[in-house]
């Protein structure tokens, strides 16, 4: 299981399978990322939710389990460079309820700061491209 933050490189056409905890935040950098899973049962049907995470955006994983990460197909991505996915682990719980609440608040602030930084990087990249202003 994932316990610490992790950075994954996704080349075009690559597929990555990883286990995440509930509350993990995924940040997409350099490409749009397709997130599939984690699968769960609804009645007799097994469903695997799919989400496309745009470059500079984040995705919060609601359930623990296995997810598949790949580059999203069919978008305007001329760049063949690897995309990055930052997996930010959820904050742990403390020994007392107060410790758990404080750890959660610190974790939420940390996640917010990282999401803002990723968004700012994506905006800087878009502004640096000459054809992006048209």
Q: What is the pLDDT of residues 3-56, one digit of tens each?
A: 567 888 988 888 999 999 888 888 888 889 999 999 999 999 999 899 999 888
What is the pLDDT confidence band of residue 84, given thresholds at 50, 70 and 90? confident
Output the six-digit token pair for 64. Answer: 């623990």
In order of 30, 40, 44, the CA distances from 55 in angstroms are: 6, 27, 35
CATH code, domain with 27: 2.60.120
Does residue 65 lie in a domain region?
Answer: yes
Q: Pick from 34, 41, 59, 46: which is nearest to 111 by CA?
A: 59
Does residue 74 lie in a domain region?
Answer: yes
Domain of 103? 6-133
- Structural contact between residues 30 and 53, judged by C-beta atoms closer than 8 angstroms: no
Q: How many domains does the chain have?
A: 1
Does residue 115 lie in a domain region?
Answer: yes
- pTM of the full structure: 0.64
Helices (H), the chain: 97-128
Output the six-digit token pair for 2. Answer: 């994932």
């Amino acid at each position: 299981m994932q316990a610490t933050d992790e950075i994954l490189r996704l080349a075009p056409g690559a597929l990555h399978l990883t286990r995440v905890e509930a509350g993990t935040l995924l940040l997409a950098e350099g490409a749009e990322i397709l997130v599939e899973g984690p699968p769960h049962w609804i009645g007799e049907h097994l469903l695997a939710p799919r989400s496309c995470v745009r470059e500079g955006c984040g995705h919060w994983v609601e359930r623990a389990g296995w997810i598949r990460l790949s580059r999203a197909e069919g978008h305007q991505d001329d760049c063949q460079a690897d995309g990055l996915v930052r997996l930010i682990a959820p904050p742990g719980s403390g020994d007392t309820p107060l410790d758990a609440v404080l750890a959660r608040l610190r974790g939420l602030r940390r996640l917010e700061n990282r999401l803002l930084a990723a968004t700012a990087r994506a905006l800087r990249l878009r502004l640096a491209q000459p054809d992006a202003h048209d």
